Amino acid sequence: MAVRSSGAKSSAGNKRSVKKAVSLAETKAVAAAKVDARADKNSLKLDVNVFKEKIVHHLRCTIGTSEKKASKLAWWQALVATANELIFDRLTQTQYTHATKDTRAVHYLSAEFLMGRLTVNNLVSLEVYNTAKSALQELGIDINELCEEETDMALGNGGLGRLAACFMDSLATLAYPSVGYGIHYENGLFRQEIREGRQIERPDSWREYGCPWEVCRPESVQEVPIGGFVETQTAPDGSIRKVWHPEHMIKGVPWDIPVVGFRGASVTILRLWESRPTESFNWDVFNAGGYVDAQNEKAAVETISKVLYPNDSTEAGKMLRLTQQYFFSSCSLRDILRRYNRTHFHDYGEFAKKIAIQLNDTHPVIAIPELMRLLVDEEGISWDAAWEIVTEVFSYTNHTLLPEALEKWPVYIFEKLLPRHLEIIYEINYRFLNEVVEAKWSGDDEKKRKLSIIEEGPCKMVRMANLAVIASRKINGVAEIHSKLVRENLFPEFSTLWPDRFCNVTNGVTPRRWMLACNPGLAELYNEIAGKDWPLHLDSCAALRPYADDPQIQKRFMDIKFKNKVALAAEIKKLCGVEVDPHAMFDVQIKRLHEYKRQHLNLLYILHLYRKLLADPAMRIVPQVFIFGAKAAPAYTLAKNIIYAINVIGDKINNDYRIRNQLKVVFMPNYRVSLAEKIIPAADISEQISTAGYEASGTSNMKFSMNGALTLGTMDGANIEIVAEAGVENNFIFGMSVKDVQELKAKGYNPWDFYNSNQDLRAVVDWLDSDFFTEDRQALASIKHSLLEGGDPYMVLADFASYCAAHKRAEEMYADKARWAHAAIMNSASMGKFSSDRSIEDYVHNIWKLKNYEIKDEI
Ligand SMILES: *Cc1c(COP(=O)(O)O)cnc(C)c1O
């Protein structure tokens, strides 16, 4: 890359101020980079003046404005353009290396990628953040303000989509050949506003004025057929051929978002498909004068990638949703085949050697029959050969045991949209039941009924999870306990049939985003104690553990936390208008709102504390701020009522002078990745309180621990593995275990038993059915109703007493500063296992069998 020299423009004075602005870490990084030949060549990384000139150049020549009149948005766009110079060069190098070596690659298919903002992360990964900051500072611009201009890329609901984003970061960092495939939603997850305590959904038009990170790739457009009917042709020799006559063709336009690996190790692509009508689109109708009809159909096709379904852990079951899934799966497979055939010329002998496809949940499982169809119908391969390829290539990750989240599609929808795929599914099912199941459990119709891809009943359904298991080489859960439950409870017969197919890959999160970029104070401490490679080798953070009782390090660690709390307090004031004291214990529950996550258990405890404070005005407690962030699916009434309850109860408590500011409750609106990055570094307590057996893994639990919060949680998902690493004595574990839950369920759970036998519990549950907090008594009463008459499906009442006791332990420990600091440090320094790099290495070794390649500047 050609880089202009900084020239004589910069004054000596400027140079001095630059030197001052560059941190110690940067100086070290610069020194290290000088040893690195590649970085050395790339002087843009090192020179503030060059960076400054580049930004101004882009401001003028790319954005078309000037320093004098540029808006913040324009400055941000110029900053992105500058970063893109580095990124696209590195991308070209990466793709050149992979193409010339004909590498085996993984293709990560996911209907969701919750990327968040990219600016800070990309600059940090390119190691130019401090350079950019200084350059902008000299131009009189605050980099933080610019970064706030970026709208989150919220193309996902929650944990599943954020996991996919962390995996992209790790794949790029570890330089494994890979592509992420998804949907280019025009609207991501809705923006949440709170009006009079209630959630309002607003559209999220994240790229209304363009997104400077993405590039359109017209050369890789795909066309996907849909609808119509299947014709059976019999050749003179008696052989049968199936010909699909689709009703429509949909155009898939790919948008590429480069994902920068740490220190530019490699740049991987996230390829998102946008639906458009084809040029030939229903031309007949158009010519016959049906201009409006044609426009309507055009709108219908454009609708496919219009909006992300806002259901987290619930199945949408809508025709459009299946269309979305099929559309992006088919585009992605065609793209994979196109790239493969560039060098293999339709010889599929090497296909399974070169291609691994990971299915993130059942959303892309339609890719299985689609690949069968492409190979058999379009490439002319025999069924058996195609099936061998398919079963070598695909693997499937299960993310939930909740029955309402396991996707099933009515057969009639398949008949309408994907008639040929339905035939293929029937064929797969027929062979599976009559060859595999019959061989194992001869004559056992009950087993066949249970394992069949087709669920019989008044409305015949296609079970996508069964299809995934039957066709996948490996099936994994996302935490040890979850994978065990997948084997034992969800797919017991399948795991008897194929024990070797089932495995575990515990989730992880990227320490680049979730520590280095969002918590610079803590990052600096680890730079000093563990060396600056800790974001690549998170295990090395264990170097801090021996200092867990060192008063100086404890002070340093807790000062960092305090500074983060001060910043969050300002944000709370700005967003919620509530004054909170950063000395108070910050107790945080941020995640999607769902009954199984039990935000209402948290709320009951808050009511319990409030009630005690009112009963005894002289009582002094550890001052506490309860912080919530959560979106509810728009049709999930109880979840929305819980949001309303948090808001109105918070309002009452925050304005009750009698409790002397000892208790505050804030609901931060529009929870998303960029808000999580502000909240997590400031948390003292991480609430992870799902009913045991329901949270597959959780990933916010990991983010919190890394940043020195103590987990107050159940033995569920990855909490179990987190406390095994950080010490159960440094966290607050409470409630029933998975086994306890199963036993209580078997015995017959009766919430009234707990309600009747615990006075405190009874009082707070009854409080919900009063007009103490709001005129709209009904909304709060509905929560009580679900806990009693509703049967309390997630056993909130059964865990209440134990939850209160855990809080009491937390409050006591918080009062002992040294003990708390010890626990916070032990948590943060013990999270090596939960780097998404470790997860990716597990996938690579157990499932994908990839090699990584050093990317050199070769072209
Ligand atoms: C990490 C993350 C999640 C997942 O949180 P859980 O508490 O594990 O469910 C959801 N949303 C966002 C924005 C996240 O960053």
pLDDT digits (tens, 9 = 90+) for 146-164: 999 999 999 999 999 999 9
Residue 276 and residue 141 share a domain: no
On the question of pLDDT at 746 being above 50, the answer is: yes
Least trusted range by pLDDT, from 8-12, 266-270, 435-439, 775-779: 8-12
Residue 595 and residue 666 share a domain: yes
Token representation of residue 517 = 């970029």
Residue 597 and residue 462 share a domain: no
On the question of pLDDT at 640 being above 80, the answer is: yes
**pLDDT attached to residue 857:** 87
On the question of pLDDT at 32 being above 60, the answer is: no
Token representation of residue 808 = 């009491």
Among protein residues, the one with the nearest Cα to ligand 1's atom 1 is 700
Residue 23 binned pLDDT confidence (cut-offs 50, 70, 90): very low
Residue 210 and residue 235 share a domain: yes
Residue 722 and residue 810 share a domain: yes
Instruction: Determine which helix (DSSP H) or strand (DSSP E) holds 230, and give its type and residue range.
Output: strand 229-234
Tell me, in angstroms, the distance from the centre of ligand 1 to residue 719's CA.
Answer: 14
Q: What whole-number percentage of the chain has pLDDT above 70?
A: 93
Residue 403 and residue 263 share a domain: yes
**CA geometry: angle at 176 spanning 170 and 181, to 5°?**
75
Residue 26 lies in a domain: no
The one-letter code for the residue type at 613 is: L
Question: Any idea what the CATH number is for the domain that residue 181 is in?
Answer: 3.40.50.2000
Could you give the residue ranges of the DSSP H alpha helices within 692-747?
700-706, 719-726, 738-747
Token representation of residue 364 = 């892309």
Q: What is the mean pLDDT of residues 229-248?
A: 94
On the question of pLDDT at 11 being above 70, the answer is: no
Residue 76 lies in a domain: yes
Mean pLDDT over each residue of the chain, to the nearest integer? 93
On the question of pLDDT at 4 being above 70, the answer is: no
- Nearest Cα neighbor of 703 from 726, 668, 677 is 677
Instruction: Determine which helix (DSSP H) or strand (DSSP E) holds 751, and give its type and residue range.
Output: helix 751-757
3-state secondary structure of 696: coil
Residue 242: other Cβ atoms inside 10 A: 15
Eight-state DSSP code of residue 187: B
On the question of pLDDT at 285 being above 60, the answer is: no
> Cα–Cα distance between 382 and 390 in angstroms, integer?
12
**pLDDT attached to residue 38:** 41
Residue 563 and residue 418 share a domain: no
Q: What is the mean pLDDT of residues 553-569?
A: 98
Residue 22 binned pLDDT confidence (cut-offs 50, 70, 90): very low
Residue 400 binned pLDDT confidence (cut-offs 50, 70, 90): very high
Choose, from 703, 784, 822, 838, the residue flagged as catalytic: 703
Residue 376 lies in a domain: yes
**pLDDT attached to residue 316:** 81
> Cα–Cα distance between 632 and 591 in angstroms, integer?
10
Examine the residue annotation and report whether 450 is marked as an active-site residue of this protein.
no
- Nearest Cα neighbor of 588 from 570, 573, 606 is 606
Rounded to two decimals, what is the model's pTM? Answer: 0.94
Residue 473 lies in a domain: yes
Residue 387 is part of which domain span? 102-117+152-507+843-848
Residue 606 and residue 571 share a domain: yes
3-state secondary structure of 106: strand
Whether residue 218 contacts residue 255, with contact meaning beta carbons closer than 8 Å, is answered with no
Token representation of residue 846 = 């157990």
> Cα–Cα distance between 699 and 678 in angstroms, integer?
16
3-state secondary structure of 590: strand
> Cα–Cα distance between 375 and 364 in angstroms, integer?
18
Among protein residues, the one with the nearest Cα to ligand 1's atom 15 is 673
How many independent structural domains does the chain possess?
A: 3
Read off the pLDDT of residues 88-110 as tens digits, 9 standing for 90 and up. 999 999 999 999 999 999 999 99
Examine the residue annotation and report whether 597 is marked as an active-site residue of this protein.
yes
- Nearest Cα neighbor of 184 from 339, 349, 327 is 327
Among protein residues, the one with the nearest Cα to ligand 1's atom 4 is 159
Whether residue 165 contacts residue 152, with contact meaning beta carbons closer than 8 Å, is answered with no
Residue 209 and residue 175 share a domain: yes
Residue 761 lies in a domain: no
Least trusted range by pLDDT, from 282-296, 412-426, 533-547, 709-723: 282-296
Residue 534 and residue 477 share a domain: no
Phi and psi at 275, nearest 5°, equal: -90, 140
**pLDDT attached to residue 66:** 96
**pLDDT attached to residue 41:** 45
Q: What are the distances in angstroms from CA 7 to CA 11, 50, 53?
A: 10, 9, 10
Residue 549 and residue 499 share a domain: no
Contacts of 155 (CB under 8 A, 6+ apart): 112, 113, 114, 115, 161, 182, 183, 184, 185, 188, 189, 272, 308
**pLDDT attached to residue 44:** 56
Phi and psi at 441, nearest 5°, equal: -125, 75
3-state secondary structure of 509: strand
* Probe target for ligand 1 pocket from 588, 589, 699, with the most ligand atoms within 8 Å of CB: 699
Choose, from 98, 592, 631, 640, the residue flagged as catalytic: 592
Read off the pLDDT of residues 453-463 as tens digits, 9 standing for 90 and up. 999 999 999 99
**CA geometry: angle at 402 spanning 397 and 405, to 5°?**
70
Q: What is the mean pLDDT of residues 336-345?
A: 97
The one-letter code for the residue type at 815 is: A
Residue 251 binned pLDDT confidence (cut-offs 50, 70, 90): very high
- Nearest Cα neighbor of 590 from 696, 694, 675 is 675
Angle between the N-to-C axes of helices 759-768 and 599-615, in degrees from 0 to 180, rounded to the nearest 10: 110
Which ligand 1 atom minimizes the distance to the CA of 159?
Answer: 4
Residue 12 lies in a domain: no
**pLDDT attached to residue 287:** 59
**pLDDT attached to residue 45:** 60
Among protein residues, the one with the nearest Cα to ligand 1's atom 10 is 158
Which ligand 1 atom minimizes the distance to the CA of 154?
Answer: 13
Which ligand 1 atom minimizes the distance to the CA of 703?
Answer: 1
Residue 361 and residue 484 share a domain: yes
The one-letter code for the residue type at 95 is: Q
Residue 373 lies in a domain: yes
DSSP 3-state percent helix, strand, coil across the chain (nearest 5): 55, 15, 30
Residue 351 lies in a domain: yes
On the question of pLDDT at 291 being above 70, the answer is: no
